Structure 1
Amino acid sequence: MRVIVTKSRPLLVRPSTEQSTPATADHVKVSSFDKPLAFSSSSSFHVFDRAIHEPAETIKRALSRALDHFRLIAGRVVVGDDDDGDLCIACTGEGVEFVAATASCALVNVKLFDPPFAALLKDLAVEYPEASCRVADPLLLMQVTEFSCGAFVLGVTWNHVVADGTGIALLLRAVGELARGLDRPSIPPVTCADQLLPDLPPLAAAIESTMVGQLKPKEYANLDITVPTSTIDRIKAELGDELGAPCTVFEAVTAVMWQCRSRVIMPHDDPGTPAPLVFAADARRAVGAAEGYYSNCVTTQVVAPPPTIREVAEGGIKDVVKLIRSSKEQMPATFTGEGEESVPVPLPCVETLFGHNALFVTSWRNLGFEATDFGGGTPARVMCHPGPEAVPACVVCLPCRGKGGANVLSRFLKEEHGGAFLAELAKFT
């Protein structure tokens, strides 16, 4: 079935008040968390299956009011003239790009992530014209696509320098609250201009800079996976109190992904080769960031020393979970200087983390996207691109109503290995 998406001409949505568009813009120096991600873009897709009145116009008006509070997002990047090339965000109030669109069918007629409809995602968001964001580009691009049934999809693309996933979720929550009639966001926004954070650990900065660099794309297939709730509960029960605190959904799901993928690639690789696991971790609690902090505050953790493919593939699932938990527990120490020497992956070896045997995991559980509500209820599903095309990656625990488990979007195996992966996953059910 061919789906035709018709887009309006892009327009700039500016903050609604003059105070948010000063004659002389404030320049806010970005933090060490922001800088490695500068000029890389991320996209999210929010699927709302309940209609609201004029969704594009409703969201556009509320977005303008929200930008009064999220002033960095309405600004532009400025590159410093000094040797360090310091980056700032000029709070110019120039606004964000907005597109209203319509789709030629009902939402029920498309399966957004299944072939051939995976290509439809490109039509449901505005993309930056270059491979990376340019200095003059808006820091956020938004598209609202209304389907013939009244359902709509909100596509959000942003320059990662200005916010992480939690930050964009805070913005969308505020837009929803203002669309529903609130006077101001319930959580006051806080930025890197308002709160000084410790430096991002060097290993995390090196990994993030490499990930958003010019690595060669690899041919991996898209998979839309659900890890059943029964599987997650069984893993939690098996671990009991062995970890000192209950096993989390993220730990259980990531362990299943890591082990199933290792079992699939083991016949095609040296089983004694290391199988690195790298995952993004929200550092807000570790560094004491305020509740409404929307600038980047994510670090990157490595399970170190990395186990071999065989150890992950043939070990007990409890042992795999323990490796993940151990790495998570090391994260706070990296901000105090106590844990840097204990990380056995030195900076010169960062490139070893980007081979076919590695796995990069991001979790969208509890980022706040599930709370977005423009007046018709929260999203039926939140989607994204699984990760940089240059690395084997997956995004776990995406909000998804009615899946009966944890939704995972992955891009970490060749197409011919997809069936073997699903067979391994079925062994856990």
Structure 2
Amino acid sequence: MSPSVRKSEPVLVRPLRPVSMSSDIKLSPFDRGLAKMSVPALLMFEHPIQDVANTIKRALSQALVDYYPIAGRMVAGTDDGELYIRCSGDGVTFVSASANRALKDFISLDLSRAGRALLDELVICQDGGFGPTDPLLLVQVTEFSCNGFTLGVTWNHALADGAGMAQFLQAVGELACGFSAPSIVPVRCDDSLLQNFPISSAPLQITIPSSLINRIKVEFSKRFTGEPCTKFEVASAVLWQCRTRAIICNPEMPALFSYAVNIRKHAGAKQGYYGNCLTGQLVMATSGIVAGADIVDLVKMIKQSKEKIADQFKKIEDSNQQAVGPQMEQLAQLQYSILIVSSWGNLGFDEVDFGSGGPGRVTPYGEYRPPFPLCAMCLPLKAKDGVNMLGAVVKEEHAGAFLGEIERFTK
């Protein structure tokens, strides 16, 4: 039996009851530049809940009472031309679907042409980004023959970052489980948020084995007198070096590495803030240095860049500089010389629970193709040992060389 997914017609889910709408919400410096970017996420739940589509649909409607900006639309201000979220209550798109196969046939994330086509059916793709009349959130619930289910969400990046969307989905899960209200009071417009911050100036699935990660962590600790390093730092260094070795054509050309940082605690965001509050931290080196360095030295470079974040905020506060959050257009100008990595393992998506436990798999899988190499560290598959990474990190002509470098590294 060939796998197939049957979808209902899209409907708009509005807040369960009318809410007192505030004035339009002006996008913060962290939101600007993201309004045309869609972010897809796929959460896979192996254990069933009763009447999954209707349960989540009702809980979604309830959650939109507290998170009412999500049910709004993006508009341009008449006086200043800036973008705002209009809290119109127009609703979010919801699709229920069913698949004629078991979830285990999907959860391994087969990235062959046929596999990608199948996975594409589990998320509502927003081709070309978001327009002014589009809902800010698209949701699809797909139930499988084994009664497991997936939750596919695609949202306008100006609405929320990954941590913010995870917070919202946790609230939907709580309401589906019978909570009377979300446990975290949501905040979308935060006047206390630090407004000034400096800009740091072919899909593949890769697994960095735990044995390699642990070996590098031991070497790092020996080299730097017991200093620890993280899985993220190690896996990022391996990815950075393997990619650089695969694409290098001139050792003097830059090989830049950037990673997304949740900066809520540094920016003074209130608890429950779910708008964008992230930036990109940049590590700079030449291709020759990255390709030939001891891997432990690359880990140290990444680790040192993380340690500078708090100091950067202190300098901003002391000098009252005017600066903004990361702009996708500026990152795109760096094009193929930069690799951007984010981690989805610490955003809170793994804590989304509709009553049968958290997801067995979380991934930003989707058809969105950014204009720069981008990779995400996902929650690892239970059947795999190590850090699982998914992204479009090299051009087609470099894919073989890149995977070869990864293989040599992990032997």
Q: Within 5 Å, give how 1:240-389 maps onto structure 2.
A: 240=221, 242=224, 246-266=228-248, 269-303=249-283, 306-337=284-315, 354-385=334-365, 388-389=369-370
How far apart are the structure 1 equivalents of 2:47 and 2:65? Answer: 28
How far apart are the structure 1 equivalents of 2:11 and 2:22? Answer: 21
Contact 1:364 1:395 (8 Å CA) reproduced? yes
How far apart are the structure 2 equivalents of 1:184 and 1:89? Answer: 23
Q: Within 5 Å, give how 1:199-238 maps onto structure 2.
A: 199-204=195-200, 221-238=202-219
Give the aligned partner of residue 211 of structure 1: none
Give the aligned partner of residue 413 of structure 1: 394
Deviating more after overlay: 67-76 vs 193-202: 193-202
* Paired letter, 1:252: V
Does structure 1 residue 136 correspond to structure 2 residue 133?
yes
How far apart are the structure 1 equivalents of 2:199 and 2:26? Answer: 22
Please list every run of at least 4 consecutive aligned residues from structure 1 whose deviation after the TM superposition is greater than 6 angstroms.
Answer: none
* Percent of pairs with identical residues: 45
Deviation at residue 239 of structure 1 after TM alignment: 1.7
How far apart are the structure 1 equivalents of 2:16 and 2:100? Answer: 32
Deviation at residue 365 of structure 1 after TM alignment: 2.2
* Paired letter, 1:254: S
Contact 2:220 2:227 (8 Å CA) reproduced? no
Deviation at residue 377 of structure 1 after TM alignment: 1.3
Give the aligned partner of residue 218 of structure 1: none
Give the aligned partner of residue 49 of structure 1: 46
Indicate which of 395, 400, 404 corresponds to 1:423: 404
Contact 1:250 1:397 (8 Å CA) reproduced? no
- Judged with a 3 Å threshold, the aligned counterparts in structure 2 of structure 1 residues 289 and 142 are, in CA distance, closer, same or farther, namely same
Q: Within 5 Å, give how 1:142-221 maps onto structure 2.
A: 142-191=139-188, 193-204=189-200, 221=202
Does structure 1 residue 87 correspond to structure 2 residue 83?
yes
- Judged with a 3 Å threshold, the aligned counterparts in structure 2 of structure 1 residues 355 and 137 are, in CA distance, closer, same or farther, namely closer
Indicate which of 68, 73, 78 corresponds to 1:71: 68
Indicate which of 96, 102, 105 corresponds to 1:106: 102
Deviating more after overlay: 227-236 vs 106-115: 106-115
Q: Could you report, residue by residue, the CA deviation over 1:188-220 in whole angstroms, capped at 9, with x for unpaired residues? A: 2122x244322253525xx6xxxxxxxxxxxxx
Give the aligned partner of residue 6 of structure 2: 6
* Paired letter, 1:325: K
Deviation at residue 173 of structure 1 after TM alignment: 0.7
Deviation at residue 224 of structure 1 after TM alignment: 1.0
Does structure 1 residue 239 correspond to structure 2 residue 220?
yes
- Judged with a 3 Å threshold, the aligned counterparts in structure 2 of structure 1 residues 26 and 184 are, in CA distance, closer, same or farther, namely same
Uncovered stretches (5+) of structure 2, i.e. residues with no partner: 322-326
Deviation at residue 276 of structure 1 after TM alignment: 0.9
- Judged with a 3 Å threshold, the aligned counterparts in structure 2 of structure 1 residues 351 and 383 are, in CA distance, closer, same or farther, namely closer
Q: Could you report, residue by residue, the CA deviation over 1:90-126 in whole angstroms, capped at 9, with x for unpaired residues? A: 2222211100011122222344342021122321122
* Paired letter, 2:116: A
Contact 2:210 2:387 (8 Å CA) reproduced? yes
Deviation at residue 330 of structure 1 after TM alignment: 2.4
RMSD: 2.6
Deviating more after overlay: 363-372 vs 181-190: 181-190
How far apart are the structure 1 equivalents of 2:150 and 2:378? Answer: 19
How far apart are the structure 1 equivalents of 2:379 and 2:192? Answer: 30
Deviating more after overlay: 251-260 vs 130-139: 130-139
How far apart are the structure 2 equivalents of 1:61 and 1:263? Answer: 50
* Paired letter, 1:185: P
Give the aligned partner of residue 213 of structure 1: none
- SS of the residue corresponding to residue 121 of structure 2 reads helix
Deviation at residue 243 of structure 1 after TM alignment: 8.7
Deviation at residue 419 of structure 1 after TM alignment: 3.9
Q: Could you report, residue by residue, the CA deviation over 1:224-255 in whole angstroms, capped at 9, with x for unpaired residues? A: 11111222222222222839852122111111
